[in-house]
Amino acid sequence: MDTGRTIPLTRRWISLLTRSAVAAAACLTAASLATPAAAASPPSANGTAVVGGSRASQGEFPWMVRISDGCGGALYTERIVLTAAHCVDRTGKDTSITATLGVVDLHDSSATKVRSTYVYRSPTYDTTGGDWALIKLARPVRGIPTLPLATAADYNKGKFTVAGWGYTVEDGNQQRYLQKAEVPFVDDQTCRSQGGEYDGLQPDAEICAGYVDEGGVDSCQGDSGGPLFRRDDADQWIQVGITSWGTGCARPHAPGVYTEVSTFAADIAAAAKKI
């Protein structure tokens, strides 16, 4: 996970690591995933990438987006990227973010790069939860598919795919190539029973995924804001989560925690119409 997943400091994958990197160097591959904080506390800025995965093929997940602050995201509409609230500072005009799309290799000269014009941060993130945000782009992105959202909890089960350019090991380095991995659903009771920050899991706002007993596969620093997705009944990709936080990366008894997209799908849609 990106800015929400780190060693217990705060509940955001995108905390200090990402913010200091952006402020100091504005580096495209800056780390950003936050670690879990208390239920009402917002995540911080330390990112996480996919651990225990493999390289994605060009065009396999065309709606994946890399954000210049060190997070990930998914193309929600031709002009809006869905990411995590902990990956951005506030709602308002913002031209400081660059979205990279259309490639798995961040060094690929054919990448589409578009600046932001506006950011909308979930108004409930700091209170009742909802780690999601929208980034409006300066122009529409043509020819790249969008990723639909799950609007009901029917798909919050089974196996999911997570993807990102984050670390492949805890406290590692951001990746040049997009990585992917499969992680199984973890029910709320099992997730909360892992203790520590997981005691504060918000069942209506968050969904857990990972290999609880053995660990080994997970999102990590730098993956924050990226999508957790699976196939729907029509065999089409659908987004069920947003990489949010976790304790370390791929540790046993420390599954990844993702924003439960179905809970916020209506709010996301309403916000997208306004910006």
Catalytic residue positions, numbered: 86, 131, 224
- If one counts every other C-beta atom within 10 angstroms of the C-beta of residue 27, the result is 14
| Measured CA distances, 140 to 24, 34, 117, 274 (Å) | 30, 30, 12, 16
In this structure, the number of other CB atoms found within 10 A of the CB of residue 203 comes to: 15
Phi, psi for 146 (deg, rounded to 5): -95, 165
Q: How far apart are CA 48 and CA 242, in angstroms?
A: 13
- Euclidean distance between CA atoms 16 and 21, whole angstroms: 8
Q: Are 83 and 75 a contacting pair, CB within 8 Å?
A: no
Largest Cα span, the chain: 46
C-alpha closest to that of 14 among 70, 67, 66, 64: 70
Q: Write the DSSP symbol of residue 204.
A: T
Sign of CA dihedral 174, 239, 13, 157: negative
Take residue 234 and report the two structure tokens written for it.
């029509």
Query: What token pair was written down for 256?
Result: 């990844």
**Rounded to whole angstroms, how far apart are CA atoms 19 and 126?**
18
Torsion angle in degrees (nearest 10) through CA of 127, 81, 222, 186: 60
